[in-house]
A and B are shown apart, each in its own frame.
Chain A
Amino acid sequence: MPFALAWVLGDSMRTRRAYFAQLEERAARLEKEREAQSKVAVAAERARIARELHDVVAHNVSVMVVQADGAAYVLDTAPDQARKALETISSTGRQALAEMRRLLGVLRTGEHQEGGEYVPQPDVEQIDELVEQCRNAGLPVDFKVEGTPRPLPSGVELTAYRIVQEALTNTRKHGGPNAGASVRLVYFDDGLGLLVEDDGKGAPHELYEEGGADGQGHGLIGMRERVGMVGGTLDAGPRPGGGFRISALLPLKPAH
């Protein structure tokens, strides 16, 4: 009897140790997973910030540069036009500042700021203003909306705006002086279709295939990331007959 009792006590101690070892191993594994998830989240947030910074700075600074060049060219011969260009530069710079402040506000507090000196996130309704801005900067843009416009998830609207913004910026950068662009928005039952194309010189293939010399193709990379995050598809490449074409399909229900 005493031997049986000693054995039972020892065996139950073994079982208890094994259980605690399992708990420790599980806790260590969960801690590792948590760290890995945290790293992934940090990387995703950094990528998001990089995309937003690029989209805000690239487009607005590009408009300012074009306007400044134009103003310098016509300063003596057409001072009124030069004045208009300078006003555009001023308003574009202010818009860029406001968007940068919104982004910095999010970075500092981790929350989206409502009102105050920050502008809300852009959406599909502001594509009209964006197109008008490009027209004022000297790029002819044909803008059409098909289907019944309706409110979409904010992630989809922001993605659509950024795609159009980046596409038009690229047309100005690479399309040449005689390029014209067209923007089509199509509201489907289950998503939003976008088609932005131009008839310019088109970008060198290095820029849209695997990064390149100019900004290393960050605009297209950012577009693909944004579209991927909302579960959509993006197609970017030379247009038959010349120019460049970007088409995207953004589903109504975001991926996450």
Chain B
Amino acid sequence: MQRLYDFLRRHPTWVDTFWAVALFGLSGVSVVNLSGVPGHHMSVAAGMTVSFVLCVVVALRRRFPEPMLLVALATGLVQLVLDIETTVADFAMLVITYTVAAVGARWASRLALVVSLCAAAFAQLRW
């Protein structure tokens, strides 16, 4: 167990990639399920694209925290503008907020806090 733990500590990107793949799988299932439900108008293609991008954010969050924050914020903005509903993959927003607060630059940490609070409010209003 100690060796496995040490291996995982030395390869954080592999760990994050594993979680990203798991998240993408869950998100894919939820997108496919939601697409057929009345009242939900999200297309499968749009939903899967957004899910994929957010999963890439999770996979690379520790290697490139600030760029991934900006990608996540841009994806969230696209979702708001194009009316793409939130999926399980939007959990990546919480993850990138935590990551940037823990290891990112100070400006990115503050930006993440402010935008994520505002975006959460906008998302509530939108959907």
| Residues of A near any B CB (own CB < 8 A) | 2-4, 6-11, 13-14, 17
Contacts and interface: CB of A to CB of B under 8 A. Distances in A.
B113 A4 contact: yes
B74 interface: no
Contacts of B93: 3
A13 B113 contact: no
A9 B101 contact: yes
Interface string B91-104: 00111011111110
Interface string B80-114: 00000000000001110111111100000100110
B117 interface: yes
Interface of B: 93-95, 97-103, 109, 112-113, 116-117, 120
A243 B115 CA distance: 90
A7 B109 contact: yes
Contacts, number: 46
A10 B99 contact: yes
A7 B99 contact: no
Contacts of A13: 101-102
Given A2-B94, A10-B103, A14-B101, 11 more contacts: A3-B97, A6-B97, A6-B98, A6-B116, A7-B97, A7-B101, A10-B97, A10-B101, A10-B109, A14-B102, A17-B102
B101 A6 contact: yes
Contacts of A8: 101
Contact of B117 (A3, A10, A14, A17): A3
Residue among B93, B101, B117 with max Cβ neighbours from chain A (10 Å) = B101
Contacts of A14: 101-103, 109
A3 B109 contact: no
A3 B94 contact: yes
B98 A9 contact: yes
A47 to B, nearest CB: 47
B101 A3 contact: no
Nearest to B110: A7
Contacts of A11: 101-102, 109
B83 to A, nearest CB: 21
B103 A3 contact: no
Contacts of B99: 10
29 contacts: A2-B94, A2-B120, A3-B93, A3-B97, A3-B113, A3-B117, A3-B120, A4-B113, A6-B98, A6-B101, A6-B116, A7-B98, A7-B109, A9-B98, A9-B101, A9-B102, A10-B97, A10-B98, A10-B99, A10-B102, A10-B103, A10-B109, A11-B101, A11-B102, A11-B109, A13-B101, A13-B102, A14-B102, A14-B103
